[in-house]
A and B are shown apart, each in its own frame.
Chain A
Amino acid sequence: MPMTDSDFASRCNIHRSYLLRVAVLQLRDNDLAEDVVQDTLLAALQGASGFSGRSSLKTWLTGILKHKIVDAIRRKERDPVRASLEEESQIEDFDALFDESGHWENPPADWGDPEQALSQQQFLDIMQFCLEKLPPNTGRVFMMREVMELDSDEICKELSITSTNLWVILYRARIALRQCLEQHWFAPTGRTA
């Protein structure tokens, strides 16, 4: 079935707000996210012939967006932010979590059957809150790994960091998220009013 350029453009535009949401979450910069989504849609229109229809349009657009986000993060890393990524990977602030013999100071609690939380909007809001509390670069790297599904080697290459640095960053992100979720959702006993 023949499709005009403007048909294709409007079909792409339907996904604009979704793409923007993903970009904002990963870049934490509204203006930059707007630019990246704009670039993505432009690239999609220019490369419309590359869309085979084998995957959904949304999946295809998300694939383009991933590359644009990685480019944007890499450009950001060239300016002084880069130093802070290295700093964030070098802070070893995990000692406080464990006693001298390496045991948990506050052992992780049993969350029971956490799956059901995923269908609750309130939980997703808390998840969002916890993600936004991560140090910015730690959050970006975590999103590259978990949402954009880049593997370790790709992330290390894109950001020019060592795998040891990467593991520390991801470990920090996960530790912080589990603490935040436990405090605000799974076992809010320690919460102060």
Chain B
Amino acid sequence: MARTVGIRISCKDASRLISQMQDGNIPLRQWLRIRLHLLLCDACNAFSRQMRFLRRAMESYRH
């Protein structure tokens, strides 16, 4: 368990990084933390899908 502590992040941090990923690259280390978190967390998975949907929804304002 102790070994995983360093790469675990909270939903609070994960959601912030998921948003940030839509605005540019994030460091690899952070990206790996997100992938791991998403494997384990339904809520953040839902959040991540919602963020992608928001972006698609906003595309309709471009035309």
Contacts and interface: CB of A to CB of B under 8 A. Distances in A.
Interface of A: 22, 25, 94, 97-98, 101-104, 107-111, 114-115, 118, 124, 127, 143, 145-147, 149, 151-152, 163, 166-167, 170-171, 174-175, 177-178, 181-182
Interface string B14-37: 011001101110000000000000
The contact size tier of chain B is: 20 to 34
A111 B46 contact: yes
18 contacts: A102-B9, A104-B11, A107-B42, A111-B50, A115-B56, A118-B57, A146-B55, A152-B23, A152-B24, A166-B23, A167-B20, A167-B23, A170-B19, A170-B20, A171-B16, A175-B19, A178-B50, A182-B50
Contacts, number: 84
Contact of B60 (A97, A103, A118): A118
Interface of B: 9-13, 15-16, 19-20, 22-24, 42-44, 46-47, 49-51, 53-58, 60-62
Contacts of A97: 12
B12 A102 contact: yes
Contact of A151 (B24, B57, B58): B24
